[in-house]
Chains A and B, each alone.
Chain A
Amino acid sequence: MNPAPSIVFFTVASGAGYGLLFWAGLLRPLGWVPASPGFGAAAVGLALVLIMFGLLSSMAHLGRPERAWRALSQWRSSWLSREGVAAVVTFGPAGLLFLSVIGDHTALATAMGLLSALGAAITVYCTGMIYASLPTIRQWHHPLVTPGYLLFAAFSGAALLAMLAGFWGQAAAPAAIAAVLGAAAFLLKRVYWASVDGARPVSTMETATGLGSIGKVRVLDPPHTETNYLLREMAFRIARVHAARLRTIASIAGFAAPAVLLALALVTGGVLAGICAFAAAALAMVGLMAERWLMFAEATHTVALYYGADARG
């Protein structure tokens, strides 16, 4: 699948934003992050900025962005529509959370924080299901895809919260959470890659053409000499050597290194902890961009079979 920069950026930025909103909303009432209005405004504010930039970026992918409001109508059948509805609804409590932390209304902030956390989790779940519900792409139609989206959002959000809390000198709780989630994300991605690499493809050129009863099917002539929309969008190919390197970058820079840095932040404390948390958050965002780019680049669509693609991808 074509890794459109707008979608890669959208899912990483809004995922981190919702993760940050989730932890900010949940940990404030517990007293695990600084209680000052300044910190609350910074955390919720950064979350909202990331979410809004992500959503604006996703609009850039649309052929008719001015009609985007129509996407809120088909929540009965469409995960994309459900994601849109969940995102819009979550802006309500998230906006009120921002105002209540600035105004220091503790009770309202607690209620809105919990509602925001719920809304954030539902929105990211819908994002994951958009991909996981497509049987046409075997690398997406996988039981670990939606848990992955949730885990990566929770991890990057916690890393960002640890970075912000580091500026206030209280990074311990979010750093501990982010370190654990980073290690879990590293494991999940490794298991996912092993699973998709080893899986037998569901559809092949033989099932796509129905000619398997005659024998092995090969392309003799393509229907057109130049490229087309289907090939540009759904037959994107990445060299295996680049994929292997990017997988290393994604799993080490995105998950393993930040987890280690966050554990260091936990041990050291003080200014060093702040620096470690900052570096961890920055690395996590870069690594997640690589992870998300690969999520598209390595995904193979059944339509490519008609053009002679290797079913294994």
Chain B
Amino acid sequence: MTSLPESKPGAKKLGLVIDLDTCVGCQACATNCKEWNTSGHMAPLPDRHPYSAGQEGVWFNRVHSYEAGDGEDGRTVHFPRSCLHCETPACVTVCPTGASYKRAEDGIVLVNTDMCIGCQLCAWACPYGAREFDDDQGVMKKCTLCIDRIYNEHIPEERRVPACVSTCPANARHFGDLGDPDSAVSKLVAERGGFELMPELGYKPVNRYLPPRRAPKADAGPPKDAGPLPSQITNPLLRWVDKVLSR
């Protein structure tokens, strides 16, 4: 069914919180995503010309790098982009076959690749570029929020998080229930002023991004108790003492 499940207050909304302050752009999340998912729920994630020029393939997570602002306020920001598991995902409602669906129990957006006809309208409908087409199978694929890890009772409990979250060396990725205001991720979003991407389009993404922290302002003038400059000290002995102590 491509009609969306009824949204109830307090319903579970599983998603990611990505910290743009600590992300170092190492690409580990993208790599581990590809590694896990190419043999996971939506496997395989095919590549074209993997060992020659013109290689490209299906990736559910891609890390962009941007510069924002100018001068002292300018920042380099590494920006991982993946499915945001929107509350009102048009990728689901435009699907003519029922292959795309949003799970009522946790809000995860999935594709049933056995029903997909490969019309690719969902890719047009997604503002965030979360859907990638598998040319080999002729069907659409996307991030599953590692549904085959987070509920997997065959792996230790601490590993039951999406592959991208488990691998991040900078702890820039957090996973949890954003529908619960008391969850760790919801508190983190509240504390750090987490934001949505392109809220103006009305897709109501569940994933949140935490903004880069502002660098402390460097004061232009010398500190008030800096004392006289070495050139202003006329006594040679005092000048020598000042030089030694200033080292």
Contact = CB atoms under 8 A, between A and B. Distances in A.
Interface of A: 1, 61-65, 67-68, 70-74, 76-81, 84, 130, 133-137, 202-203, 205, 207-224, 226-230, 233-234, 301-303, 306-307
Contact of A78 (B66, B68, B96, B209): B96
A70 B97 CA distance: 5
B139 A216 contact: no
Nearest to A136: B127
B19 to A, nearest CB: 13
Interface string B15-46: 00000100001000010000000000000000
Contacts of B211: 210-211, 213-214
Nearest to B203: A135
Contacts, number: 207
A218 B123 contact: no
Contacts of A79: 94
Given A63-B138, A80-B96, A216-B69, A210 B209 contact: yes
B203 to A, nearest CB: 8
A137 B124 contact: yes
Nearest to B201: A135
Interface of B: 1-4, 20, 25, 30, 53-59, 62-70, 73-77, 79, 81, 90, 92-99, 115-121, 123-129, 132-135, 137-140, 195-202, 209, 211-212
Contacts of A65: 117
Contacts of B62: 223-224
Contacts of B126: 136, 303
A62 B119 contact: yes
A130 B125 CA distance: 10
B79 A209 contact: yes
A136 B120 CA distance: 14
Contact of B55 (A67, A134, A218, A226): A226
B56 A224 contact: yes
